[in-house]
A and B are shown apart, each in its own frame.
Chain A
Amino acid sequence: MLPDAFRTAGSASFTEFLASHAPDQLPRARAEHTGALDGVTHGTTIVAATFPGGVVMAGDRRATMGNVIAQRDIQKVFQTDEFSCVGIAGTAGLAVEMTRLFQVELEHYEKIEGTVLSTDGKANRLATLIRGNLGMAMQGLAVVPLFAAYDLDLGVGRIFAFDVTGNRNEERTFHSVGSGSLFARGSLKKLYRDDLTERETVTAAVQALYDAADDDSATGGPDLARRIFPMVAVVTADGFHAYGQDETAAIADEVVAARLGAPDGPSAPLI
């Protein structure tokens, strides 16, 4: 028989249901039990940029564990519902779990209420989840996601960045998180224009990741030998779309070929 908790009237939030019915399943409930911090996998750089009609998110594929490369083909950009995605940087295990919870949270609300959350509502839910991880962040296990969504009401792509306390700030143009984010942001600053096409925006994002990998040891560049390329996702009015290996390979090959002649990438005019 379904336990009473399942049939009690309550909120449309899956996290709140977990908290009342199965608190041990919540990520934050386990915060106090963590001791050792060695051997933790970290994800590195995520970039996102808007273009007319949508938003692009891309992430490199490297996960590090101290000075060791833990994984060469980790996935750091996740679809969260039909019109949004999350890119994760920081402690991989916690970030992936938080993303899964966020995915269920959005879907649960949609099914219970019969309508989708507003884009701001989604961003606020994610902020709450991040704040719940503050205890872990204080122990050095921070999770800093980047959230990108297509807003059906406004008809534009939107980007939300967060800090470990769940402070949410919206970026209108482009943003980057993770260890290589300083370099990626500098790169995007010179390459980004708000009238680029989807394909051009993806190229700018791949360029930014190349620059991040160039200067940050924890960010992986395009791996030509193993054919591992950045993960690229686009969210438009048609919904979420993850680029296939062939599509990203074509763009990455183009970027790498151009860098063979000009290792620092395309140059911007001085004035």
Chain B
Amino acid sequence: MTQQFYVSPEQLMKDRADFARKGIARGRSVAVVRYADGILFVAENPSRALHKISEIYDRIGFAAVGRYNEFENLRIAGVRLADLRGYSYDRRDVTGRGLANAYAQTLGTIFSSGGEKPYEVELFVAELGDTPDGDQIYRLTYDGSVADVRGWGVMGGTTESVEQWFTDHYTPDLDLGGALTLARAALGHDDTAPRDVPAESLEVAVLDRSRGQLRKFKRLPDATVTELLEG
């Protein structure tokens, strides 16, 4: 007969958190940076097909680290939620806050329910405002907690030294090229010795306020990224 051992709730939650954190720390970091005309997402991702950064809706972008199948699952759920809401109400009624709430609830429930293993993911949900004051960036962790991000944010991988680089070098009102150069340099500081992240292995996308269409999300192709980094 198997014996059930008593495990205190504190210990149980700690074990689950350690498990999730370990999974998230394995990959490379993803950064989000606010610049003069919008919000920039940068990830080190050698794959051209498996994205870490995606469009959710007109003014809402998504970035994730951790297990691919888990954040892809959440991304698709977010696209469905946003499209359903926009279709049944109006495009203006789809908000980043609503989406961040739905993600927080989902991650929180999975984390504290005994049945499923916690998701090993962290997410950025960014919403572009009509003016820079209206920009909102949320950071969601594996346990469903939500934090506001101001200026810049980093998650996944070894974040301390990357964060330090941002703290030392970030200034508001950077232009796109400046923000991209900063993010690339920061992502290169994830090891004991700083390294140059090759431009080809950067996945870069923006929510661009100056874009003439309703859909403000845009992926930057390699050529544009190289050009911006050199300029």
Which residues of A are in contact with B by a Cβ distance under 8 Å?
Answer: 1-2, 6-7, 9, 14, 17-18, 21-22, 25, 82, 100-101, 104, 107-108, 111-112, 114
User: Which B56-114 residues have a C-beta within 8 angstroms of A?
Assistant: 56, 73-74, 76-77, 79-81, 83-84, 86-88, 102-103, 105-106, 109
Which residues of chain B from 175 to 222 have any CB-CB distance to chain A below 8 Å in the complex? 213, 215
Residues of B with Cβ closer than 8 Å to A?
49, 51, 54-56, 73-74, 76-77, 79-81, 83-84, 86-88, 102-103, 105-106, 109, 213, 215
Besides A2-B77, A104-B87, 18 new A-B residue pairs in contact (Cβ under 8 A), listed by A number: A1-B109, A2-B102, A2-B103, A2-B105, A2-B106, A7-B74, A9-B73, A14-B80, A14-B87, A18-B84, A22-B88, A25-B87, A108-B79, A108-B80, A111-B54, A111-B55, A111-B83, A114-B54
Q: Which residues of B contact A114 (CB under 8 A)?
A: 49, 51, 54
Instruction: Please state if B77 and A104 are interface contacts (CB–CB under 8 Å).
Output: no
Which A residues lie within 8 Å of B213 (CB)? Answer: 82
Q: List 5 tightest A-B contacts by C-beta distance, closest first.
A: A6-B77, A1-B105, A2-B106, A7-B77, A2-B77
Query: Considering the chains assembled together, what is the distance between the CA atoms of A114 and B49 in angstroms?
Result: 8
Q: Which residues of B contact A6 (CB under 8 A)?
A: 76-77, 80-81
B216 nearest CB across to chain A (Å): 13
| CA distance in complex: A100, B215 (Å) | 15
Interface-central residue, B55, B56, B73, B79, by most chain A CB under 10 Å: B79
A-B pairs with beta carbons under 8 A, tally: 55
Contacts of B88 in A (CB 8 A): 22, 25
Residues of chain B within 8 A (CB-CB) of A25 are 84, 87-88
> Which residues of chain A have C-beta atoms less than 8 A from B81's C-beta?
2, 6
* Nearest-Cβ distance from residue A97 to partner chain B, whole angstroms: 10
Cα–Cα distance between A21 and B102 once the two chains are bound (Å): 17
Residues of chain A within 8 A (CB-CB) of B74 are 7
The answer for the CA separation of A17 and B77 in the assembled complex, in Å, is 11
Residues of chain B within 8 A (CB-CB) of A1 are 102, 105-106, 109
Q: Which residues of B contact A82 (CB under 8 A)?
A: 213
Chain A residue with minimal CB distance to B56?
A: A111
- In the complex, what residues of B have CB within 8 A of residue A107's CB? 83, 215
Residue of B nearest to A17 (CB): B80
**Separation of A50 and B106 alpha carbons in the complex (Å):** 49
The chain A residue sitting closest to B105, CB to CB, is A1
Of all chain B residues, which has the CB nearest A1?
A: B105
**Complex Cα distance A78/B106, Å?**
36
Q: How far is the CA of A104 from the CA of B88 in the complex (A)?
A: 11
Q: How far is the CA of A2 from the CA of B54 in the complex (A)?
A: 19
**How far is the CB of A208 from the nearest CB of chain B, in Å?**
29
